Amino acid sequence: MKIGFIGLGIMGKPMAKNLLKAGYELYVYDIIPENVKEIEAAGAKACSSVKEVAENTEFILTMVPDSPQVEEVALGAGGLLEYAKPGTLVVDMSSIAPLVAQKVGAELAEKGIRFMDAPVSGGEPKAIDGTLSFMVGGLKEDFVQAEPVLKHMGASVVLVGVLGSGNTTKLANQIIVALNIAAVSEAFSLATKAGVDPEAVFDAIKGGLAGSTVMNAKVPMILEGNFKPGFKMNLHSKDLTNALDTAKSLGVPLLFTAQVFQMMQLLRGQGEGESDHSAIAKFYEALCDVEMRKN
């Protein structure tokens, strides 16, 4: 099966490699030529444009940073609207605003091009080992076609509703992750300030009700002072912007989300935007004059 893959960044590259390992024939494109060359070396066919991807495939995956990039790839000059064949299925795995997903889908549908939103959760580590979680919005018949492909990149692939539902679900996911990191940072700053070894606190509580996947993934990084990005704060801040904008349009208050967003904005202003989102801990470290590090 021929698959187009557009967007070979921190997430897209390992996801594309997993599809190559599964035996798919990939036609790949990215605005950064070095990214294309890396995936070409792994066995993909390099393309020089979105047009070239569209001309060679009828199943296309996109994984780009945000709503404007999805609109550019899908609807912009030289994009999928112009060159994809009628009947082509486009599955956008980016994390974008739900209303943008619906807009893109509606415009592509006028040309007979099918569209689904399927954002992921899990960050770079799960992209590498192929255990991402996919939250998919779209038609059931399109999901039946897409699911086997997505399962080569994810451990969980769930159709959550109509087009746009995937990104609404992703926004809910990102709110929970952000608030979880903030809660962990607040709690561990208290324990550290009180003179308790934060590593011992982690060992004591991770198996109880307070334990979580977020805690297990992020506390070891905080305790080691390792903020190398698995998921950049800039990207999480973008997701919370989309969540807050969506909530505003629906009249839904997101009180805690707004507070954590402001923490991220402060940290980004201090140069932490390219750090892992676990660097939220640095906000509390500065506030409490502590360092949450294992002894």
Mean pLDDT in residue range 197-221: 97
Cβ neighbors of 128 (< 8 A, separation 6 or more) are 14
Give strand pairing partners of 121.
133
Residue % of the chain over a pLDDT of 90:
97
Q: Which of 126, 170, 232, 282 is catalytic?
A: 170
Q: Which pTM was predicted?
A: 0.91
Give the tokens for residue 219. 């506390």
Shared domain for 121 and 174, answered yes or no, is no
Q: Does residue 295 lie within any of the structural domains?
A: no
Choose one of 129, 162, 195: the last residue of a domain.
162
CA distance 123 to 9: 12
Domain span at 95: 2-162
Angle at 8 between CA 4 and CA 11, to 5 degrees: 115
Shared domain for 139 and 13, answered yes or no, is yes
Q: Return the number of other C-beta atoms located less than 10 Å from residue 168's C-beta.
A: 24
| Band of pLDDT at residue 295, cut at 50, 70 and 90 | confident
| Band of pLDDT at residue 19, cut at 50, 70 and 90 | very high
Shared domain for 212 and 91, answered yes or no, is no
Q: What is the pLDDT of residue 211?
A: 97
Q: Does residue 293 lie within any of the structural domains?
A: no
Q: What is the pLDDT of residue 95?
A: 95
38-58 per-position pLDDT tens digit: 999 999 999 999 999 999 999
Q: What is the pLDDT of residue 294?
A: 87
Shared domain for 9 and 148, answered yes or no, is yes
Angle at 50 between CA 102 and CA 41, to 5 degrees: 125
Shared domain for 28 and 155, answered yes or no, is yes
The question of whether 228 is a catalytic residue gets the answer no
Residue % of the chain over a pLDDT of 70:
100
Choose one of 162, 191, 208: the last residue of a domain.
162
- Domain count within the chain: 2
Where is 236: in which H helix or E strand? helix 233-250
pLDDT at 72 over 90: yes
Q: Does residue 37 lie within any of the structural domains?
A: yes
Shared domain for 204 and 267, answered yes or no, is yes
Shared domain for 131 and 173, answered yes or no, is no
Q: What is the pLDDT of residue 123?
A: 86
